Structure 1
Amino acid sequence: MSTTLLVIATIVAATLGVGVGYLSTRPTIHRLRKELADAAWQLTHDPLTGLLNRTGLRTVHATIAATSDPQPLIVMLIDLDQFKEINDTHSHDAGDDLLMETADRLNRLAHTYGGTVARLSGDEFAAILPVGRHPISDIADRFNSVIAAPVKVQADSGPVAVTVTASLGIAAVASTDPVQDIALHRADTAMYHAKHHGGDRHVLYTPGMTMPDRERRRGPRLRDLRRDQRGSVE
């Protein structure tokens, strides 16, 4: 709604400029354009890390699907294993420091493979990469390694180095496959198998793979809770 209002305001300002002179309305037009750009950025990006959010990731995937021939893609879902312990032990500010550093590392690594990364929620990230000459397992190992490197955070007691690992679920899909219902769903299933087997590892989705038994996971997934509360999955 706010974006629509800004578009309307820009058109009105431009129209006024025709009648009363462009120079007198130019500051208003520039301001409205900047507000529109800021609003568009906020719709597609995570404010803490600056990465794409879920909407931004969908936009990137839609662009790939629409502007190029069908191609194989690697879709990776990344869930930090001990993030709650960092928050509980060192404060939420320390957790934010960890998320921002992890985001920077993932972003740099994804770019080396010509891909992009997003923060979906909390300590959950996703990446979309083109299938290149590097084996998927080697790429996944590098993602696990950069996440596991120590991170210096600001705890209540002062600077401290913390270490986390991650569970990675990977799906090899076509660029024309729906990102939510196929790509991320398969990567999510594989990720929970990695989590189920202790974390700090990656699992590649294979045909027929299903979710581990819920009672054998460490509590329900957030999307399961949302479904129970609202009757549908977001």
Structure 2
Amino acid sequence: MLSLDGLTGIANRRSFDERLVHEWERAKRHKAPFAVMMVDIDAFKRFNDTYGHQCGDDCLRQIALSLKQTAEQYGGTAARYGGEEFAVILPRTSPSEAAAAAEAIRANVERLAIPHGSSPAACVVTVSVGAAVTVPQPNEGAQTVLSLADQALYRAKQNGRNRTEVACPICE
């Protein structure tokens, strides 16, 4: 089974799911902090409707490369999660490192300066990022951190898009 997304060339959902469980179990054994990010392209349907699917595919490829490079700078892995949504795994990552990585992802995509005249967030393509940082507990599965990241992504969208939100149960 191929582990790369055919369009973007980065890890696919299946590869992400396998890596998530592997890294979660490792973090659990070592009682280490663990971060996951969900990244969603803001108003991507409008982008496709305005510029066409070929431009949409080019946009996805550029963003995927940016995410991959940024994730690797922080010791992580980026994957296409589905459609215009991506996910990032950052093992052994503190809350402050996760917040910095999330902001770097957001800013690097904005710096691509891909025109988006129909976006309510900006005149260029932007992303919203939901990050979650936790130390895995014995009775929790990897879906715990994924759910927290998804909730943080929802908050980023609700609070205006083109922003990051971090959920951190270990910070409370």
Whether 1:179 aligns to 2:138 is no
Give the drift of 1:149. 1.7
In the TM superposition, what is the alpha-carbon distance from 1:178 to its structure 2 partner?
2.2
Could you tell me whether the CA contact under 8 Å between 1:46 and 1:52 is conserved in 2?
A: yes
| Distance in 2 (alpha carbons) for counterparts of 1:149 and 1:48 | 22
Task: State the alpha-carbon separation in 2 of the partners of residues 49 and 175 from structure 1.
Answer: 30
Q: 1:137 maps to which residue?
A: 99
3-state SS of the aligned residue for 1:147? helix
Aligned position for 1:49: 8
Report the CA distance between 1:204 and its aligned residue.
1.2
**2:98 maps to 1:98:** no
- Per-residue CA deviations over 1:154-187 (Å, capped at 9, x if unaligned) read xxxxxxxx8211111111023564223x111111
Cα distance in 1, alignment partners of residues 149 and 95 from structure 2: 21
Give the TM-score of the pair, scaled to structure 2: 0.81
- How far the C-alpha of 1:69 sits from its partner, in A, is 2.5
Query: Does residue 87 in structure 1 map to residue 42 in structure 2?
Result: no
C-alpha distance 69-81 of structure 1, shift in aligned 2 (>3 A): same
Displacement after TM superposition at 1:197 (Å): 0.9
Q: How does 1:63-74 map to 2 (within 5 A)?
A: 63-66=22-25, 69-74=30-35
What amino acid is aligned across from residue 120 of structure 1 in structure 2?
A: Y
Q: Higher RCO, 1 or 2 (CA under 8 Å, sep at least 6)? A: 2
Rounded Cα–Cα distance in structure 2 between residues aligned with 1:205 and 1:191: 9
Match of 1:112 in 2: 73
Q: Hey, what's the Cα distance between the residues in 1 that align with 2:69 and 2:8?
A: 13
Q: Mark the runs of 5 or more structure 2 residues left unpaired by the alignment.
A: 116-122
Matched, 1:204 2:166: yes
8 Å contact from structure 1 (residues 171, 187) kept in 2 = yes
Residue of structure 1 in register with 2:120 after alignment:
none
- What SS does structure 2 have at the residue aligned with 1:111? helix
Tell me the residue number matched to 2:20: 61
Equivalent in the alignment of 2:156: 194
Q: Deviations over 1:117-141 (max 9, x none)?
A: 1111111001011215953322221
Supply the distance in 2 between the matched residues of 1:136 and 1:125 (Cα, whole angstroms).
Answer: 16
Larger Rg: 1
Aligned partner of residue 135 in structure 1, secondary structure: helix
CA contact (8 A) 1:78 1:169 kept: yes
* Equivalent pair of 2:71/2:101 in contact (CA under 8 Å): no
TM-score (norm 1): 0.61
Name the SS of the counterpart of 1:136 in structure 2.
Answer: helix
Counterpart residue type for residue 163 of structure 1 = V
Q: Which runs of structure 1 show a deviation greater than 6 angstroms over 4 or more consecutive aligned residues? A: none
Q: How many angstroms apart in 2 are the aligned matches of 1:172 and 1:137?
A: 9
User: What amino acid maps onto 2:164 in structure 1?
Assistant: H
Cα RMSD, aligned residues only:
2.2
Q: Could you report, residue by residue, the CA deviation over 1:18-39 in whole angstroms, capped at 9, with x for unpaired residues?
A: xxxxxxxxxxxxxxxxxxxxxx
User: Which amino acid in 2 is paired with 1:187?
Assistant: A
**What is the total number of aligned residue pairs between the two structures?**
157
Q: Give 5+ residue unaligned stretches, structure 1.
A: 1-39, 154-161, 208-234
